[in-house]
Each structure stands twice: as structure tokens, then as C-alpha cells.
Amino acid sequence: MRKLLISGSIHYPRSTPEMWPELIRKAKKYNFEGRFDLVRFLKTIQEQGLYSILRIGPYVCAEWNYGGLPVWLHQLPGIALRTDNQVFENEMVNFTTLIVNMIKQEGLLAPQGGPIIIAQIENEYGDVEGPYGDAGKRYVQWCANLAESFNIGVPGSCASKVMLHNPWFKNWGGNHPHRPAQDLAFSVARFYQREGTLQNYYMYHGGTNFDRTAGGPLVATSYDYEAPLDEYGNLNQPKWGHLKELHEALIAMGMLSSMEMQITLTTAIMFGVLPDCKTESHNTAKINVQTSLMVRLPNKAESEPSDLSWLWTPEMIGDVLQGNGGHFKTNQLKEQLSVTIDASDYLWYMTRVYLDPKGPNFSNQMTLRVNTRGHGLYAYVNGELVGSQYSTSGNYSFVFEETNYGAFYDTIPVGINGGPVELVTGNTTWDLSSNEWSYKIGLDGETKQIFTSQQIKWFNGEIPARRPFTWYKTTFKAPIGDEAVVLDLNGMGKGAAWVNGKGIGRFWLIKSSPTADNGCAPCSYNGSFYANKCDTNCGKSTERWYHVPRSFLQDDDNTLVLFEEAGGDPLQVSFQTITMGTVCADLEEGHTMNLACQGGHTIGSVGFASFGDPQGTCGGFSEGTCNGVDALAIVEEACFGKTECSIDVNEEMFGSVDCGGITRRLAVQAKCV
């Protein structure tokens, strides 16, 4: 009997422990505390009757900061990451041994009765092995020997690649990637039709890059991935439901022998699943589940979103602007990561230069030229901000590399790193690269833990807007209910946010180009899928709303602290909740229409219903050339006031409608209240 393994990736640190049980229930369908509690996560999987594929790493990529490796490795003498290097391999043995011993002690391996059926060391090494040459080949063999030495009793993998991607992650300055449910289902069915056994959805739930965990290149805070479960854990319909129906059909076929299974490529865009070789139980091109349109509602705990009352305090940079307050000095421009050891996103480079105002080359109009591999740069001269510049997704203003992926990624410098830094006037250039440079790591507010400290002096009265390097603080009531909470940072620029001292991530209200890539052209699942084929959100902020997990909130007053580096207006900021606003169905006769609201909400109105050949999509349906006259009344009677409803779509229910021989369909649009 053929075994089919269907799996989906959930990165447990990108959600909270309180979210795990519901995420995993729906999926059925060195710091190990809090949201990093690996053992608790694996036990939650087991409680739901599911199995686990454990990716030990330690390098995991996953758009995680420094690929998941601790940055202090960068400082070890003689180290070279992800190759046959004794220093790195010693540290990898230490980490892997710790993880394996932990899961063994907790009885989490399948032979112990636990959920782990496969374990993986390293990650996608085949993509980067070539540049490492013979050392890379030796490293792969070393990884395999290491895995075998643990004798864990489950199949092991060194850099296996069985993942089926949803669209892609969001980049600052980029559009929103989208992959239609039909195309994703087609790829899954094709994989099993070609004798595949195990596939993995990357991601099944993406989650959020809290704190400073987002890695390069320019990965946004939201790691939604347009997965079947969205960033907040809600069902992403129709993708979740369409894949669920495919899984049910595949599971039914898994009871058959390989000779009895029948997955048929009907056309270049459609697979039909035929358990009995006759009756189609699933068609990847036909969606028969509901579509849900989510909406954001104002915080009901406050009378108006503008009720937030703000305090502010400046980031103390006076000493920096005078060239003082550095942690050390050197006569060279040093690489940023080797200085900060990832303690902060920020590093101040300070130097002094004397120019004779009576000299022949002196000018009041000089150009400062900086060669940097950083994501952003602010330049101050004599205490005044003279300019700033950022690199963005796909359009790099600076020399820039992807710093968490690829061969030798650990050797790619970050920051100014040798420069040059030059003052230019006319034909004269002063190279400041060998000046005495002073360095200060991080922000004064970071050092003082301004987002948790009660000892900070805050100012009230008129709140300064568009002021760079400023901290803002407010208190708010937790929104009523249990729906997902988001922070709307409309009006802000670039920085970071904390709720009750917990980092909800970096923010940046940068907009994508309205004509970037294909300009968000109408999407079709026909043909090959590629990363930007079905982009959405062109010309809008890559990320405006930021997830605030319910577990971060308190019953009484909550505190929000924002650090704004570029200049923004906090008076436009508000808290909102995410809920299901509109539900739709569009399916052929012979199927059953199922509609459901979430969170105890009911179907309050049916705005559209047509049985015949309705046109359009959810949010924009219209009647076609043939239409049953009683469809709206029938749907209202079956669904109004209910949390969910079902209707068989057939002539007996909706009456005879002559559509000239075409297959009749039912389209419905309703609101949840």
C-alpha cells in the first residue's frame, strides 16, 4: 500500500504559544522559553494527533536573522560557516547534541511514541554546495555521519528539499505575492501523480517576525506567505478549504495500491482525482469552498481611534553629533556586524575633519559620498542632518548583498566597511576612510530599555511630527473580543514598536512602485507560476498593519512605545481587530454550498445570490444571461441569522433554469455581523 505524507511548515517562534493549539488544530485540517519553547510546540503537535518533521539546522535560512545562527559565531577565530571547518563543526555538534538529547529525554521521537518521524540537519545545501568545492562535499558527508551517530531511529536528511512554496515572503518596498489556490493544488496533485510520497507546504502558517528576527534581504515583519492559515491564524479561504478537499481525496486514494490510484492530468491547468477511475472526487481548477474577505474594525474598547494620547522624548544623540560618546576608536572603517554583534540595528560612525575656509578648494557646497552595504544611512555634519537614503526591494541605491543566504554569506560585509567615505567639491576629493573613527553601538533608548523602563522623562503637550530619531509612548485598552489585533501605523515612517515591552517588530511604511514587475496585472492560474506573476497591493505600503498577539495584552492599561527614525505622525496611529466581513461561494451544481462566519458571528445579510451563469468574483458579482428568480430568497431562508449554513446546489432546490446547455452555477455573497 502506498503511503502519502502531506505536511506543512509552521515556525513556532513566529507565533505565540497561545496560538499553537488552534494553528495545529486547523493544520490537521539556547533560548527555549516562551515562543521559543520547542518541546512544548512538539507536544502540542502530538496532542492533535499529528506527526512532525524536525528541522534541526542549525542553519535554517527561513528569512531568519543570520539564517538562524547566533551572530557571535562570526567572532570565533578561524571560523567559516557551513563548510568543512573544525571550529564551525565543533559548535554544530554542541548545538545538535543539545537538541537531540532534549527531544530524546522528552520521548518525542517516533520509536519512543513521539510525533517526530523525520529529522533534518542543515538546509537546502544543494543550492550552495558548488562554490564550497571539495570542502563542501566533505561537509555534506560529515553532516550525514553526524546524523547517523545520534541513532535517533527515524529517517534523517541532510538538506532535503521537499517543500512546495506558497508565493513568497514580503520585501520592504515590494508588492504582496499571491499564488492562486488552483495553481497550488495543481502542483500538489501533479507531485503525487508522478509517484511522489512526501511534500511540504512552505508555509502552512507563516506568522510574524517579532522583535528583530527578520533576516535579509529586506524581509518585512509580516511573514504571512499567503499561507492556508494567515499571519493571525485565520483560515485563508478559499486556499485552506480547496487544499483540504484535495487532501481528503488524496487520503482516500492512499488506501489504494499504487496500481489502483488514478490522478489524471485532464488539461495543462487541471488535475482530476478519480478514486474509482471513473468518478471525479476533486478537480484542482474548480473551487467549491467559500471565499472569505477579512476586514479591519476600529478598537471597540475606545470611543474613537484618535483617543490615543501621546507622550514623546527625543533619542539622545547630542554627544554623537559632537563626535563624542563612542565606545572605541580606530583608524579604519569597520564592518558593522563585527562591531555590533547584532546587539542593535544601528551603528554610529563618527569622525572629525578640519577644512581651511581660506583654502583654495574650500566650498560651502560639498558632496558627501559614502559607499555602504547597509540598508539605510543617515548623515549628520556639524550636528545637522544633511541627508538619508535607503535600499529597497529590487532597487538598491547602495552596494548591497543578501546577507542571510548563499555560499559564504557570513563573509559578506555589512555597513560602511572600509568605505570609501569622501568629501567632494569640484575636482577635489578628500578621502576620510583612514581618519580616526569613533564608534557607538545602538541607540541610547535601547541601552536604557526605554520600552520597559519607568525612569524615562516623557514630554506631553504638542507632539512633534516628522521629527527623526524620536520615541513616542501611549496607553490603550485591549480591544474587546478574541479576534486578532493589529496596530495601524499609518502616518509613521520607519522604526520599531513594542507593546508592554514585547517587540512586535520593525515597521516601515515604504510604498511599492505602482508599475513594479508586472504592475499587479489580472491574475490567471493558467501556465507556469513564477514569483511575481500574481502580485497585489501595487503602489501601497508593503506593510501598514502589524500583528499584536492577544497574549501580549493585559486586561488593564497597555503601553505602546514607538521608535521613529525617519519622521512620522503618531496621531494617525490606531488599534484595530481583524474579522471576517464578507463570505462568498461560487460553485457548480451537483455540489453543496457551505458558508460559515467565525468567532460566533452570524450571517446578517445576503447581498447577492444567483443560480444560472453569474458573472464576476467575490465582492463584485452580477447576474448573467440566465438567472433563477428565487435564488436570493432560498439562500436567505437557509442562512440568515446562522453562524453557518449548507445548501445542495441542484435543480430540485433552485428550480429549472435554461442556460443553453452550459453548466449552471450558484454564486452567493453575504455579510458576517
Over residues 177-216, the pLDDT tens digits come to: 999 999 999 999 989 888 888 999 999 999 999 999 998 7
From CA 465, how far away is CA 399, in angstroms rounded? 31
Stretch 589-606: mean pLDDT, rounded?
Answer: 95
Q: Residues of the chain with pLDDT > 70: what percent?
A: 90
Give the domain extent around 432.
318-438
Q: What is the pLDDT of residue 402?
A: 39
Question: In this structure, are 432 and 566 located in the same domain?
Answer: no
Q: Residue 594: give its domain's CATH number.
A: 2.60.120.740
Say whether both 65 and 156 belong to one domain.
yes
Relative to beta strand 376-381, strand 384-390 is: antiparallel
Which of residues 421, 438, 455 is at a domain's end?
438
Residue 391 lies in a domain: yes
Q: Within this chain, do residues 232 and 201 fall inside the same structural domain, yes or no?
A: yes
| CA 81 – CA 64 distance, rounded (Å) | 16
pLDDT at 160: 44
The more confidently predicted of residues 390 and 572 is: 572
332 and 274 co-located in one domain = no
CA dihedral 32, 35, 38, 43 (to 10 degrees): 130
Structural domain includes residue 514:
no
Instruction: Give mean pLDDT, residues 439-462.
Output: 94
The answer on pLDDT for 666 being more than 90 is yes
Mean pLDDT (whole number) for 484-512: 97
User: What's the domain count of the chain?
Assistant: 4
What confidence category does residue 401 fall into, taking pLDDT thresholds of 50, 70 and 90?
Answer: very low
Q: Residue-wise over 373-402: b if at least 16 C-beta within 10 A, else e?
A: bbbbbbebeeeeeeeeebbbbbeeeeebee
Q: Judge if 122 and 269 occupy the same domain.
A: yes
Let me know whether 141 and 80 are in one domain.
yes
What's the average model confidence in pLDDT over 159-174? 70
51 with 149, same domain: the answer is yes
Q: What is the 3-state secondary structure (H, E, C) of 327-384?
A: CEEECCCCCHHHHHCCCCCCEEEECCCCCCCCCCCCCCCCEEEECCCCCEEEEEECCE
Number of CB atoms found within 10 A of residue 617's CB: 12
* 551 in the same domain as 465: yes
d(CA 588, CA 585): 10
Kindly report the CATH number assigned to the domain that includes residue 92. 3.20.20.80
**Do 177 and 255 belong to one domain?**
yes
Q: Is the pLDDT of residue 261 over 80?
A: no
Q: What is the pLDDT of residue 400?
A: 33
The whole-number pLDDT of residue 415 equals 86
pLDDT at position 504 is: 98
193 and 46 housed in the same domain:
yes
Residue 537 lies in a domain: no
The yes-or-no verdict on residue 585 having pLDDT over 60 is: yes
pLDDT value of position 259: 45
- The answer to whether 144 touches 138, Cβ cutoff 8 Å, is no
418 pLDDT exceeds 60?
yes
Q: Would you state the pLDDT for residue 607?
A: 96
The predicted model gives 150-176 an average pLDDT of 76
- Grid coordinates 477579512 are at which residue? 294
Q: What global pTM score does this model have?
A: 0.91
Q: What is the pLDDT of residue 515?
A: 67
User: Is residue 404 included in any domain, yes or no?
Assistant: yes
The pLDDT value recorded for residue 646 is 98
Within a domain: residue 524? no
* Average confidence (pLDDT) over 387-397: 60
Highest mean pLDDT among 19-23, 33-37, 243-247: 243-247
In the block, residue with C-alpha cell 533576516: 215
Closest C-alpha to 346, from 374, 384, 388, 386: 374
pLDDT range class, residue 262, cuts 50, 70, 90: low
pLDDT per position as a tens digit, 76-108: 999 999 999 999 999 999 999 999 999 999 999
For residues 11-45, b (16+ Cβ closer than 10 Å) or e, as one string? bbbbbbbebbeebbebbeeeeeeebebbebbbbbb
The pLDDT value recorded for residue 304 is 55
Determine, yes or no, domain membership for 530. no
Residues 27, 171, single domain; the answer is yes
In a domain, 529, yes or no: no
For residue 250, what pLDDT is reported?
Answer: 86
Domain closes at, from 383, 411, 438: 438
Whether the predicted pLDDT of 393 surpasses 60: no
- Structural domain contains residue 124: yes
User: What is the CATH number for 502?
Assistant: 2.60.120.260
Three-class secondary structure of residue 644 per DSSP:
strand
Which pLDDT does position 390 carry in this prediction? 83
pLDDT of residue 366: 86
Confidence (pLDDT) at 491: 97
Q: How far apart, in whole angstroms, are the C-alpha atoms of residue 591 and residue 135?
A: 58
pLDDT higher than 50, residue 394: no
CA dist 253 → 3, 141, 216, 258 (Å):
10, 37, 41, 9
Same domain, 369 and 254: no
Average per-residue pLDDT for the chain:
88
Predicted local distance difference test score (pLDDT) of residue 398: 38
Give the confidence band of 266 by pLDDT, cuts at 50, 70, 90. Answer: low
Position 307 scores a pLDDT of: 78
